[in-house]
Structure 1
């Protein structure tokens, strides 16, 4: 009987021993930077151990006994991650990820080992928003973009100039 149900009970007990905090959705933009939040309450230790993972198994960033170690970091994240050690005592193990690309989108997990906490964050990477002013009735496709400013200036000049020369 233990063999049949043993693995289910073992999984259940393991699940109960970890506090998994609700996942969070974070939006980032191509080429931009984003902070992936991971807060677990004040730390009772000055030498925390925290693991950041992408898609559950790819090493993003490790803090081992208070020191950053990048020896086993996945090459995708090389030279693009940093943390905030001054915030560790407050239980803040958030991670800065820079120069975002579409391959960075997905689920990140922060494991605060001594507090037995897992924090999940889903990152969505979007195209940079444009700031062009569109004329009414035109679609968002890049082929149909028409700046509104020159048309506005021409119409203002057209209505002001006749009054200036009366």
Structure 2
């Protein structure tokens, strides 16, 4: 066999080995993908906030028998789902996971009536056997929005303009409230 053909044959064999190696390497890639929104998340004190966390198995539909989901705040467990125990445990009464949404890859955590003490870094740990992926986000808690007081005591509900209609009084009050809101916002 001429030297040029032997060299070409060696290159072809090497290319096939590299291709086979790449295919095998791709087959061992991670099937678990976890996604969170861009951090930080900001919410007002007294409101409810959804800390979003989503996961997927890129090779098949979600199999809950492989799932252990844990939310942590300041290294303390806030909520956990473990298929082995078939239950959701929340260590904060205001925290809620949605077990019906886990099958869809929704591992989000709802925090109700948040306070400034809820501000900080939260981690969503998705253990999808045999893989685990942890994502974190920061929750900022701001003061509640100001509320506008709209006085209505200057309207005399017994005033009768002769039209025998209370709709004029209601319309007048609504108009005045609208004017006060617009003035407040300016």
Q: Tell me the TM-score normalized by structure 2.
A: 0.53
Partner of residue 80, structure 2: 62
Deviation at 1:44, TM superposition (A): 2.6
Following the alignment from structure 2 to structure 1, what is the Cα–Cα distance between the partners of residues 41 and 134? 17
Q: How many residue pairs were aligned?
A: 114
Aligned to 2:96, which of 82, 91, 104? Answer: 82
> Residue in 1 aligned with 2:126?
112
**Higher relative contact order structure (alpha carbons within 8 Å, sequence separation ≥ 6):** 1
Query: Are 2:70 and 1:51 aligned?
Result: yes
- Determine if the alignment matches structure 1 residue 121 to structure 2 residue 157: no
| Cα pair 2:56 2:62 within 8 Å, conserved | no
* 1:46 Cα deviation from its structure 2 partner: 2.1
Matches of 1:24 and 1:119 in 2, distance apart?
11
- C-alpha distance 85-19 of structure 1, shift in aligned 2 (>3 A): closer
- Which portions of structure 1, spanning 4 or more consecutive aligned residues, are displaced by more than 4 angstroms? 17-23
CA RMSD of aligned residues (A): 2.8
CA distance in 1, matches of 2:88, 2:40: 25
Deviations 1:103-159 (A, max 9, x none): 1000000000114221212101011112449xxxxxxxxxxxxxx839x7xxxxxxx
Aligned mate of 2:52, from 15, 27, 37:
37
Change (3 A) 1:107 1:113: same
Unaligned runs of 5+ in 2: 1-29, 150-178
Structure 1 stretches lacking a partner, 5+ long: 1-16, 134-147, 153-166
20-29 or 99-108, which deviates more: 20-29
SS of 1:49's partner is: strand
Question: TM-score normalized by structure 1?
Answer: 0.59
